[in-house]
């Protein structure tokens, strides 16, 4: 599963506006999904 790069700026903006652990967790989750998707 490869997520579209269009989502990248969305979570980047989200993490900028909400500098807390929840936002960072979303960013990490997104990154992990991309890594897993690239493996397949």
Q: What are 6-32's pLDDT values in tens digits?
A: 677 777 777 676 666 676 777 788 888
Above pLDDT 90, what percent of the chain?
Answer: 0
Instruction: Of 26, 25, 37, give the one whose Cα is nearest residue 1.
Output: 37
Query: How many Cβ atoms are within 10 Å of 14's Cβ, its own excluded?
Result: 14
| pTM exceeds cut of 0.75 | no
The predicted structure's pLDDT at residue 22? 72
Confidence of residue 1 (pLDDT cuts 50, 70, 90): very low
Rounded Cα distance between 27 and 40, Å, is 21
Three-class DSSP labels, 1-40? CCCCCCHHHHHHHHHHHCCCHHHHHHHHHHHHHHHHHHHC
């Amino acid at each position: 599963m490869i997520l579209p790069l269009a989502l990248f700026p969305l979570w980047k903006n989200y993490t900028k506006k909400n500098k807390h652990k929840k936002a960072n967790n979303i960013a990490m989750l997104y990154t992990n999904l991309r890594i897993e998707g690239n493996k397949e």
